[in-house]
Amino acid sequence: MSRYRRAQVPGATYFFTVNLLNRRSDLLVRHIDLLRETVRATRSRHPFHIDAWVVLPDHMHCVWTLPDGDADFALRWKVIKFAFARRLPKTEILTATQRSRGERGIWQRRYWEHLIQDERDYRHHVDYVHRNPLKHGLVERVADWPYSSFHRAVGAGIYPVDWCGDEAEGFARDAD
């Protein structure tokens, strides 16, 4: 089995993509209140700052900054994924491997993580997070997607409410 190397820098800022196993599911938005509650509970035990976050039906992107001296984002994702899955009804079909490991068939086992390198990289990834519902054709304007930190950023004066308007110019065609 491959050993994945992850950049672990205490107090750093990271971009993440976390996917459901079933990429045709709408589980994340259908259970958005449970997801929010799970993230709040995790942050109370294992603090981190949410720089940006968007939840789409089958995956989510976020940018987090960890506390000084702490690089354990893996623990936070483990807690979020486990706590969210534990509170959902068991309706998914499991493989023999999933059953033998005591897993749920909800999340992809891995996730994408990227250590933010500088201010330009930070801006690119935060913008990517906020544009993602538009990229996936879920809305015609970024402001129309309700499950995004974009609204908080507008309130803080970081973006105008009509940012990215009705067009997706400037998109990085990153894979989800």
Whole-number Å distance between alpha carbons of 12 and 70: 8
DSSP bridge pairs for 13: 65
The residue type found at 149 is S
Q: For this structure, is 147 an active site residue?
A: yes
Among 14, 128, 147, 159, which one carries the catalytic annotation?
A: 147
Are β-strands 13-19 and 112-115 bridged in parallel, bridged antiparallel, or unpaired? Answer: antiparallel
DSSP string covering 89-153: ---S---HHHHHHT--SSB-S--EEEE--SHHHHHHHHHHHHHHHHHTTS-SSGGG-SSBTHHHH
Helix (H, G, I), strand (E, B) or coil at 69: coil
Name the residues annotated as catalytic: 147
